[in-house]
Structure 1
């Protein structure tokens, strides 16, 4: 991980996304994830994938990519990609979605929600809700997980709140990988690792400015998730990274969920930084922790389908 951080900063401090145009930042993010599959990743590369177009509630449409593994355990997972709500797309998270499909034996539906600044909040969240409802309708009767990393994890929690409050779809579990849940950034600013680990508090402030430009909306429960009513949510697997400005708010979220009666499995990421879920092919510790995260989700789903004693 140290080598990766040093490589990122070779020739001086890396130029932050906020110093680039949005298109430049998106292209850099996309290019950084476009790595060929290694020999030991052939099972991921072999997963069948097909792009679909689905309708949203405002009459627009978005793309989704549907991954179908050879081994099917009658599960489906709606995946919402990270990238600070502004960056990321179907291609940037292709490897992660293939890994989830193979590891869980689940059909994975990756949603290409519309992004700010062109489409600020609540459009990305509404698109995420539409994708989740489409997935439930397209694959009825399956255990349905909603998952995401970073901004996608924030959206995933917002989707779960919407499903609870609107009567569905039924969700079996949530997978939240280093979610941003505190738009005040007070916890991030006070974190011991607020700078120097690929994500900074200034980066997060820029992301929130793009995503929720209206300060009044940052108090919405789907944005200020630490202060939302979390009761009645499905079981949660929550992953954090040690050297991440979002570490402390992730730990606080785990405590708030538990206090609200939600079953939580917190997987810490010792020695890891924000974004490690996309570094599995480069950093062995990131791959090992990602396997632990998916293993916890697997355990949750097995417990839900296990026969109950009478």
Structure 2
């Protein structure tokens, strides 16, 4: 066994042991973290403390290639071990993709399907980094999940990721039979940057009158201007940092002026929600995390959609941090949040 593998096993065991302690014990270890009238979940608090003790490097402080490897290593530490009935690697046009088939959606026919885009600030993340949450979403929701890679910055700048996401959606409509998808029960979704891509894809679908049944937006980035109180409150110490956000912006859209950053392909909150477009927009389940720098912009987008007449369900997981979607194995409170998200997905595509 290699040193890196031994380190992974030791860190994973230590993390699960600490966050798996009974709640009454967790509450006695350290002080509660209260900010903006919210209390951080004890198991999340202990996970962050262990990361600091282990001196886990912040990915944004590393060269990009090394940071990508480090992000995947860190997500693997907190990932769950959920199983699905089938999984298939395939190509969605020019893009790598993975299809997850739960027990409830085996066999021929047309099934509900979520087209999923991973987070990572448009710079990091891939099929591997979000393998665990896709498995859990598929199995708990009873829907097929098609996770699609897209081009990353700084090698590929805006609007490359947006264009890839939209191309993947168009491919899905044309090849629904190949992945067993029911075009009347399609969802687009993603977390963080992936939530941004899903929201922009849904806007394009509404503008063109294309079929879409649900938007599943998990702490999405919706406003590239980022002048929010949540960024000031939670931009340090809660996993997603101001430094990461700045690096992502510099990598993906450094060429854009402040006015150009209002482009709805990167800032959906500024989209023109004309009545004809709003009437065709798919219903939205949008969730945020209480201790997330992106919290306020995600909730602002939910309010904007609701004011335009779009069906929106907004859910804030007050005790969670950005990244909880990936923490399905090591943090019980985060896993419970993801299971709730999966149930909302199931209901939205019923």
- What TM-score does the superposition give when structure 2 sets the normalisation length? 0.78
Q: CA RMSD in A?
A: 1.9
Which position in structure 2 is the counterpart of 1:306?
none
Shift of 1:292: 1.7
Shift of 1:26: 0.2
Asked if 1 retains the 8 angstrom alpha-carbon contact of 2:121 and 2:248, the reply is: yes
Cα distance change on mapping 1:190 and 1:100 into 2, 3 Å: closer
Cα distance change on mapping 1:6 and 1:21 into 2, 3 Å: same
1:284-303 superposed matches below 5 A: 284-302=332-350
- Pick from 275, 284, 296: which aligns with 1:236? 284
1:88-107 superposed matches below 5 A: 88-107=125-144
Aligned to 1:110, what secondary structure does the other structure show? strand
Shift of 1:172: 0.2
Alignment pair present for 1:213 and 2:254: yes
Which position in structure 1 is the counterpart of 2:221?
180
1:1-310 superposed matches below 5 A: 1-10=44-53, 14-35=56-77, 41=81, 44-55=82-93, 61-72=94-105, 74-139=111-176, 141-142=182-183, 143-168=185-210, 170-187=211-228, 191-216=232-257, 217-230=260-273, 231-232=278-279, 233-302=281-350
CA distance in 1, matches of 2:285, 2:230: 25
- What TM-score does the superposition give when structure 1 sets the normalisation length? 0.88
Cα distance change on mapping 1:35 and 1:10 into 2, 3 Å: closer
Asked if 1 retains the 8 angstrom alpha-carbon contact of 2:189 and 2:217, the reply is: yes
- Paired residues, what number? 291
Q: Please list every run of 5 or more consecutive structure 1 residues that lacks an aligned counterpart in the other structure.
A: 56-60, 303-310
CA distance in 1, matches of 2:49, 2:99: 36
Report which structure shows greater RCO (CA 8 Å, sep ≥6): 2
Q: Please list every run of 5 or more consecutive structure 2 residues that lacks an aligned counterpart in the other structure.
A: 1-43
| CA deviations over 1:113-168 (Å, ceiling 9, x no partner) | 11111111111111111111222222253400001011000000011111122332
| CA deviations over 1:26-79 (Å, ceiling 9, x no partner) | 0001112235976xx4xx324311111232xxxxx1111111222128201100
Greater C-alpha radius of gyration: 2
Asked if 1 retains the 8 angstrom alpha-carbon contact of 2:79 and 2:327, the reply is: no
